[in-house]
Amino acid sequence: MPAEPSLAALPSPPLRYFLATRPAFLSVTLVACLIGLASAHAGGVTLNAASATLTIVFALVAHAGVNVINDYHDAENGSDAVNTERLFPFTGGSRFIQNGVLSMRETAALGYGLLATVVPAGLWLAWHSGGGLIWIGLAGLVVGWAYSAPPLRLMSRGLGEVAIAAGWLLVVVGTDFVQRGEFAATPALAGLSYALLVANLLFINQFPDRSADARAGKRTLVVRLGAQTAKWGYLLIALVAYGWLFLQVGRYNLPQACAAAAFTLILSFRAAKLLIEHAGTPSELTPAIKLTIAATNLHGLILAATLAFGRMPLNLQ
């Protein structure tokens, strides 16, 4: 496991602020953008490099802001401070506040400042692509904020997985919209399996944090169900994700080649097996979390590639 951050190890303020965003975990947003771009390309749209780049950059900035805001509110409710079973860097937050690298005030300013920078970029993209993007962007910002911030605190109400799936599906749909200039079914149909796997990543991360979350009053889905019942939820979410992909390919809503993304079920099912075996022993869950990260990112990359280069069904051409 890598060492947790410390002020002595991070003397450069810009580096501290950058690492506080947890950049290693932003890949899921990059992949979601690639699925959206591939969906637009599959629909016969000629991609605009400038708007595509701006979309990716500010989607990453928004995700970074949500990460920092989540750290701030988890410090505020005390869950990260009492988390002794965390598996850093995967669970238990960034530890920047708890280890004295950033203050609460600095963390809040960083998180909300990052979200604020997304607004003008989103308005510029909406001006060029269409007003519908404003609603997509607004919904995404609200979900990202409401995930951890009071009064909604969706993750504390057992709705974190729903929020995550909705948020990353909006990234796919929004990226497609910027290029296409209108709403289409393909990005939603293609992106849902990926969004569900991103939700599963959040779900499995709740197991090492379960005791601390319960002590802090964070009633996540894993806290509500208990580890021995909740462990089956991971398998259920994975089955729904892959079942959805097979259904859309079977109904000719996606290229047949997209079925290749289902090969990642090997990784997801291996992670599910490890979780079922070790749900009550958080220290044993690192391999399952790593498999979940690999399955999620690889699934999205294969989906993007097969969407971009596969042959769309005749009814969608």
Query: Within a domain: residue 196?
Result: yes
pLDDT at position 271: 98
- How far apart CA 219 and CA 304 sit, in angstroms, is 35
State which residues of the chain have pLDDT below 50.
none
88 in a structural domain: yes
Contacts of 316 (CB under 8 A, 6+ apart): 43, 186, 252, 253
Residue type, 247: L
CB atoms within 10 A of CB 219: 15
* Residue 108 maps to a domain: yes
Tokens of 253: 């809503």
Count of domains forming the chain: 1
Look at residue 164 and tell me if it is in a domain. Answer: yes
Amino acid at 167: G
Domain annotation covers residue 178: yes
Residues 244, 251: Cα–Cα separation, whole Å: 11
Would you state the pLDDT for residue 14? 95
Place of tokens 């991070």: 10
Note the pLDDT tens digit of each residue in 118-171: 999 999 999 999 999 999 999 999 999 999 999 999 999 999 999 999 999 999
- Report the mean per-residue pLDDT for the chain: 95
Summarize pLDDT for 12-31 with one digit per residue, the tens: 999 999 999 999 999 999 99
For 289, left (φ over 0), alpha (ψ -120 to 50), or beta? Answer: alpha
Q: What's the pLDDT score for residue 310?
A: 78
What is the three-state SS of 152-200? CCHHHHCCHHHHHHHHHHHHHHHHHHHHHCCCCHHHHHHHHHHHHHHHH
32 in a structural domain? yes
Decide if 270 is inside a domain. Answer: yes
- At residue 311, the pLDDT reads 76
CATH number at residue 257: 1.10.600
Question: What was the pLDDT predicted at 314?
Answer: 54
46 Rama sector, left if φ>0, alpha if ψ -120 to 50, beta otherwise:
beta
Write down the pLDDT at residue 316.
55
pLDDT of residue 315: 54
Supply the range of the domain harboring residue 187: 13-316
Residue 8 lies in a domain: no
| Structure tokens that stand for 211 in this block | 């005791």
Structural contact between residues 82 and 209, judged by C-beta atoms closer than 8 angstroms: no
